Amino acid sequence: MCQEVGHAIQLALSRRGLLKAGAGVSLAALTLMLGGVPVVAAAAATGADSAAPDFDTRLILLGTAGGPAWFPGSSRHGIASALQVGDLTYMVDCGDGAARQLAHALMRSNPKAHPFQLLEPLRALFFTHLHSDHVVDYNNLLLQGWTAGVGRRQPLEVFGPGPRGELAPVFQVPGLPRAEPAVAFPEAPTPGTMQMTDSIFRAFATDINDRIRDYLWPDIRGLVQVKEIPLPNMAGFVSPNQTPAPAMEPFPVWSDAHVRVTATLVEHAPVFPSFAFRFDSEQGSVVFSGDTGPCQNLVRLARNADVLVHEVIDAAWVDALFPPPLDEATQALKHHLLSAHTSIEDAGRIAEQAGAKTLVLSHVIPHNVGDDRLRVASRYYSGRLVPGQDMATVGIGRPRAA
């Protein structure tokens, strides 16, 4: 089980000596030494890489903030990423401000794009899980995107978790049993991606009907195809509460002419299902961890990936923020932060164990943590480390010939 990985992961840093030996050589030469696909990463100071437009495949960090909160001294937007492959764009998660960030990224890729066609390249959207900080801008993407061409070239395909199936357990403080709280919306307390989407359309029915009748626009509901990701048969699976991330092999989710997407369950209890995704294209592979504690399922999914985008939390900050004694609610929050997320140090360990060639740190908690603190991951990881910043771009594969 994923939680068994914990903080006691023992990793062989076999590549560290090679990395040190390569100090001072060019990125291309060092990449060849390490046997990987060339990767050009954005400079953290600017959030943009001048070479990235020369690549047919690009990772764009639309938003790098984790959690439903805002922090002073930070301008990070909510978690969201885009993978551009040729002239198509694939999006993972849709946090606070993601729709506008995607629009800015597509404007940067195509400054001459017509405003009503800007989002036509958006091919598919994937939700790792349905926590609010990963989906809160979904309605904005749909309704604002309707104006900007979402689904006009071909329907936007949306993939995400199905219904959880049972309510999460109530957090219990040892020695202080807590009664069951009232259930919100007991008729449908754990909806999946399809019901979430339908509820958005119902909430904006006035707007949708007005624009269909007044502008003669096509019905937005016909421009979006929502599919809940079916889970494979899993040995050892008992229930969402008891085994939210049983040991498993990656399984296929979707493919088109440009990418093949596989997934696995990761450790973000009590959320279920909670996915990590891998995108494989001719130019290379990119893995998105989703929200997770250290997890062997993710290690298997990210094996030898060109880029691993991994969530990260500063565990020392959590400990400093919540010194004892703690009330019940604070204990519950602290427990979740430390058990369902991955420390800076463990993110490096996970990337090293997976053999990922580049580690990009995203879904950063707290939002105002400095890059120097994030670079602590490099003590446990011998590949290329990129502390994620909004709109930073990573070119994947080889640049186009001049």
From first to last of its 402 residues, the chain has per-residue pLDDT tens of: 564 444 333 333 233 332 333 333 332 222 222 233 344 444 333 333 555 678 999 999 999 999 999 999 999 999 999 999 999 999 999 999 999 999 999 999 999 999 999 999 999 999 999 999 999 999 999 999 999 999 999 999 999 999 999 999 999 888 778 889 999 999 999 999 999 999 999 999 999 999 999 999 999 999 999 999 999 999 999 999 999 999 999 999 999 999 999 999 999 999 999 999 999 999 999 999 999 999 999 999 999 999 999 999 999 999 999 999 999 999 999 999 999 999 999 999 999 999 999 999 999 999 999 999 999 999 999 999 999 999 999 999 988 776
Residue 306 forms part of a structural domain? yes
- Count up the domains in the chain and report the number: 1
CA separation for the pair 365, 343 (Å, rounded): 10
Residue 347 forms part of a structural domain? yes
Helix (H, G, I), strand (E, B) or coil at 380: coil
- What is the token pair recorded at 28? 């291309």
Domain that holds residue 124: 2-165+192-232+244-396
How does strand 384-387 pair with strand 260-265?
Answer: unpaired
End-to-end alpha carbon distance in the chain = 49
Residue 179 forms part of a structural domain? no
Residue 87 forms part of a structural domain? yes
Largest Cα–Cα separation, the chain: 68
Residue 381 forms part of a structural domain? yes
CA separation for the pair 288, 266 (Å, rounded): 11
Tell me the CATH number at 146: 3.60.15.10
- What is the token pair recorded at 22? 């390569």
CA separation for the pair 13, 229 (Å, rounded): 36
Residue 255, number of CB atoms within 10 A of its CB: 12
Residue 393, classified by CB atoms within 10 Å of its CB into exposed (0-12), middle (13-18) or buried (19+), is: buried
